[in-house]
């Protein structure tokens, strides 16, 4: 059994708390957030501590952290994870018991994989990636860091995915494509070509509609 601290008190944190405690033998010890976002002393029946005061409030040796910052700002999500990593935190990954992950797959830190996700052989995943329910990641695909795959998104084989990308509901990426950093693929889009950095793609077939290099992906 592992004891976990969840960074965040939003909807994703609430969901992860429920899943960790109902589908694994691990336990959530507490939640933590930056002091400016701390709105109370308890969340989901567990204590909430300001991150700046964490060591004064709880013994963190041996505890594992999971970053539960959502996708409203993908760059902020990345920044929180990197701060935890710089602070030397041990990370926890949540993998649903109903997910099918081939034994050859390499997973990074702070991986979150929900129900019925399929990750085929020889895929390599970086850190801080989240796969919502029923995603499919086909064989031999490489995924960078801090990517968010919404429910039912499908990634073809031999793709190369950069960092900070967002794949919306039921998006489809065909095989052998390169998805550059901060690409946003819209809901039900079907992507047939490699992307440009910090660009949004919509439609079937998907076409670039806007760029967001100044602020990154915000939803």
pTM, two decimals, is 0.96
What share of the chain has pLDDT > 70, as a percent? 100
98 and 87 in a single domain? The answer is no
> Which of 142, 196, 206 has the alpha carbon at shortest distance from 168?
206
Look up the domain containing 24 and give its range: 3-91
CATH number assigned to the domain comprising residue 30: 3.40.50.20
Look at residue 173 and give its three-state secondary structure. strand
35 and 133 in a single domain? The answer is no
Segment 174-209, tens digit of pLDDT = 999 999 999 999 999 999 999 999 999 999 999 999
The number of domains in the chain is 2
114 and 24 in a single domain? The answer is no
Q: Is 219 a member of any domain?
A: no
Segment 38-92, tens digit of pLDDT = 999 999 999 999 999 999 999 999 899 999 999 999 999 999 999 999 999 999 9
101 and 46 in a single domain? The answer is no
> Which of 135, 90, 88 has the alpha carbon at shortest distance from 112?
135
Q: Is 214 a member of any domain?
A: no
């Amino acid at each position: 059994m592992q004891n976990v601290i969840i960074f965040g008190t939003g909807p994703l944190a609430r969901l992860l708390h429920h899943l960790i405690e109902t589908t694994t033998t691990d336990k959530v010890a507490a939640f933590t957030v930056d002091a400016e976002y701390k709105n109370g002393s308890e969340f989901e029946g567990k204590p909430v501590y300001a991150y700046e005061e964490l060591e004064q409030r709880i013994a963190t040796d041996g505890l594992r952290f999971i970053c539960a910052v959502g996708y409203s700002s993908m760059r902020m999500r990345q920044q929180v994870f990197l701060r935890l990593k710089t602070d030397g935190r041990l990370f926890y990954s949540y993998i649903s018991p109903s997910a099918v992950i081939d034994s050859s797959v390499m997973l990074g830190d702070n991986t979150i994989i929900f129900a019925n996700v399929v990750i085929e052989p020889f895929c390599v995943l970086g850190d801080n990636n989240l796969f919502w329910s029923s995603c499919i990641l086909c064989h031999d695909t490489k995924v960078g860091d801090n990517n968010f795959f919404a429910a039912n998104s499908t990634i073809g084989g031999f793709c190369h995915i950069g960092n900070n990308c967002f794949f919306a509901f039921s998006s489809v990426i065909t095989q052998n494509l390169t998805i550059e950093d901060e690409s946003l693929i819209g809901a039900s889009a079907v992507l047939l070509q490699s992307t440009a950095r910090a660009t949004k793609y919509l439609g079937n077939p998907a076409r670039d509609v806007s760029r967001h290099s100044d602020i990154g992906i915000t939803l």
